[in-house]
Structure 1
């Protein structure tokens, strides 16, 4: 098994390739060059582009989960739906990078890449499988808040100027105002 630090270094080198040049520019050669290793060294840890992308998705989903834990201040099993939703909105709107969005969009058609994201989301929102038309009022407001936070990634990816931290906090506060009193 590869050392986690070497894998993480390679994944960290892959992220700017995707962010700066797009998902189609992600090649093993580009990542090896960015990481300052030989292609053979990269292949030792990730034998294919598919394996590299699977590793990237695992890494990013774990990073999102760490942010959710930070904002919730507790494990999801100990938090209410509103607390979990507040953590999700804060985590989603505090991310200045669109690399996760680009990769999630690409993962939609690849179950292995989508699995880490689904594990995190299902852990934090096990009720997400309920049909929308059967949600109670509070569950619906929480779903709308999460969807609005997800939309901030799309907005920021097409906006002429990215939001600064103050603007992101303001956006999160506005989204979360729908949950005031809960």
Structure 2
């Protein structure tokens, strides 16, 4: 088994800090304490805090794209629209740890962070700012919005979805996709 790099170990630890205390809690001091790495060792990998944040976003975006590729059975450009949508729905149907949502929200704070996520979004999701021109595009947008709502629901609502309801919603959205093919 391949050994995890110190850089990746630091990124995982930084995400743990975000999960526990928020993005503002990620500092060289907190990361040094969490990893046992020296501040100079961290600075070697991340010369500035901004660089650390960029790498955290890149790490999360790459991890999500790898999941989408696994669920879809290939890279986005190799798949049909329906296969991409199915992978997206399956990915977004699970109740991810809060850190995933926090990083997505944090991405909106800086254009460089947004650009990292946009690369993945552009490959896997319809552009919600572009007016749809036909029923197929409208359905693709509806499925994406429903899936995103399923993904964030339990993090923004006091009452969480039961496992049974989450499964029923997932099955319903997948039936919408299946009706199109």
TM-score (norm 1): 0.85
Does 2:165 correspond to 1:155?
no
Alignment RMSD, CA only?
2.4
Structure 2: stretches of 5+ with no match in the other structure? none
Tell me: CA distance 1:160–1:138, structure 2 relative to 1, closer, same or farther (3 Å). same
Does 2:111 correspond to 1:111?
yes
Q: Which residue of 2 aligns with 1:22?
A: 22
Tell me: CA distance 1:174–1:20, structure 2 relative to 1, closer, same or farther (3 Å). farther
Aligned length: 178
> Separation in 2 of the partners of 1:16 and 1:147?
28
TM-score (norm 2): 0.86
Tell me: CA distance 1:88–1:70, structure 2 relative to 1, closer, same or farther (3 Å). same
Does 2:109 correspond to 1:90?
no
* Cα distance, 1:159 vs structure 2: 3.6
Does 2:73 correspond to 1:73?
yes
Equivalent residues of 1:19, 1:98 under 8 A apart: yes
Tell me: CA distance 1:11–1:170, structure 2 relative to 1, closer, same or farther (3 Å). farther
Q: Secondary structure at the match of 1:109?
A: coil
* Cα distance, 1:75 vs structure 2: 1.9
Q: Which residue of 1 aligns with 2:172?
A: 174
Q: Secondary structure at the match of 2:93?
A: helix
> Separation in 1 of the partners of 2:149 and 2:142?
10
Structure 1: stretches of 5+ with no match in the other structure? none
Does 2:158 correspond to 1:131?
no
> Separation in 2 of the partners of 1:163 and 1:71?
23
